[in-house]
């Protein structure tokens, strides 16, 4: 009986010891796990703090990576003969002075096509100029076909034309004389922007017509022949072109009337030519 009790007591003590051992091991593993997670968390926090405090480094690394990829792609594109790689400008079309003739009212479209054929220029840029002539002409109370006629006679619609004395652009405005008018457009180089040159030219024309009291005399002032006995036939040529365009706008066939002899009078300089705007300014001074 005593031996049996001793065996039972030993078994109980052994179970209690095993239970205590298992509990100690579990607690130890739990402590280790907590410490490990804490260490991982600290490491993550340290990394985040490091990168967050070094945004500059991040950006440089990203820039180098993107630059390297771009250089590789550019080298590949050039090897394939694509010289336009990296030059994509979807907004470049907004810089073009052009309009679709189909978008113009009938009268304007008729004039645009007629001028394009007569002067062998593309109808799209001419259409844009016709649109602008109508818009500016209405504001300035100057007939749009008169504005277009001046461009035709002065530059044949070449926006980069320049005379020997510095008259520039579509309407051959003497830039050095009217540089104050170009200030609102950023400076004198705007003379080679077709729309700007047109607007400045119309302002000059309007001022000359108001000063002279009539279109004919205003054209003489515009071309710099106000103080000369003869304008070399300039006003006649502009007005003839003006009438032709009015006929086209009305749906009629334009009549090319013969012009009078535009040979300068004996008192006018022999080198005076009817199509050189503002060269006469220099001659008249």
| Cα distance between residue 156 and residue 275, in whole Å | 10
Token pair 């950023």: residue: 186
Please state the rounded mean pLDDT for residues 103-123: 97
Handedness of CA 128, 131, 136, 141 (dihedral sign): positive
Q: What is the pLDDT of residues 247-267, one digit of tens each?
A: 999 999 998 776 554 433 323
Domain spans, the chain: 2-79, 101-284
Reply yes or no on whether the pLDDT at 277 is more than 70.
Answer: no
- CATH class of segment(s) 101-284: mainly alpha
Between these two residues, 124 and 47, which has the higher pLDDT value? 124
| Cα distance between residue 219 and residue 22, in whole Å | 112
Please state the rounded mean pLDDT for residues 182-193: 95
Check residue 273 and give its pLDDT.
Answer: 39
Between these two residues, 117 and 68, which has the higher pLDDT value? 117
Check residue 54 and give its pLDDT.
Answer: 66
Phi and psi torsions of 165, nearest 5°:
-110, 10
Q: What is the pLDDT of residues 57-102, one digit of tens each?
A: 667 777 777 777 666 776 776 677 677 666 677 777 888 899 999 9
Region of 215 (left: φ > 0; alpha: ψ -120 to 50; beta: rest) is alpha
Between these two residues, 54 and 132, which has the higher pLDDT value? 132
**Structure tokens, 241:** 């072109």
Report the SS3 class of residue 162: strand
Check residue 65 and give its pLDDT.
Answer: 75
**Structure tokens, 234:** 């300039």
Q: Poorest-confidence range of 93-107, 120-134, 268-282? A: 268-282
Q: What is the pLDDT of residues 202-245, one digit of tens each?
A: 999 999 999 999 999 999 999 999 889 899 999 999 999 999 99
DSSP, res 188: G
Check residue 144 and give its pLDDT.
Answer: 98
């Amino acid at each position: 009986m005593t031996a049996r009790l001793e065996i039972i007591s030993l078994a109980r003590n052994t179970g209690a010891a095993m239970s205590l051992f298992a509990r100690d091991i579990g607690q130890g593993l739990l402590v280790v796990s907590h410490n490990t997670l804490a260490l991982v968390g600290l490491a993550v926090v340290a990394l985040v703090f490091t990168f967050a405090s070094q945004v500059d480094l991040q950006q440089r690394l990203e820039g180098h990576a993107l630059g390297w990829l771009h250089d590789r792609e550019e080298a590949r594109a050039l090897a394939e003969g694509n010289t336009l790689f990296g030059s994509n400008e979807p907004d470049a079309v907004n810089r073009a002075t052009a309009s679709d003739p189909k978008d113009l009212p009938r009268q304007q479209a008729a004039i645009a096509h007629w001028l394009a054929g007569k002067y062998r220029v593309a109808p799209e840029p001419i259409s844009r100029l016709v649109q602008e002539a109508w818009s500016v002409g209405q504001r300035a109370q100057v007939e749009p076909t008169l504005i277009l006629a001046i461009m035709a006679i002065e530059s044949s619609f070449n926006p980069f034309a320049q005379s020997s004395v510095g008259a520039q652009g579509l309407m051959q405005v003497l830039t050095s004389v009217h540089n104050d008018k170009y200030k609102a457009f950023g400076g004198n180089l705007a003379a080679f922007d077709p729309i700007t040159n047109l607007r400045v030219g119309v302002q000059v024309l309007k001022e000359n017509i108001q000063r002279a009291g009539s279109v004919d005399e205003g054209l003489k002032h515009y071309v710099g022949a106000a103080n000369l006995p003869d304008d070399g036939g300039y006003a006649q040529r502009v007005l003839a072109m003006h009438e032709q365009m009015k006929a086209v706008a009305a749906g009629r066939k334009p009549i090319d009337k013969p012009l009078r002899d535009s040979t300068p009078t004996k008192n006018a300089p022999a080198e005076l030519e009817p199509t050189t705007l503002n060269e006469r300014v220099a001659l008249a001074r």
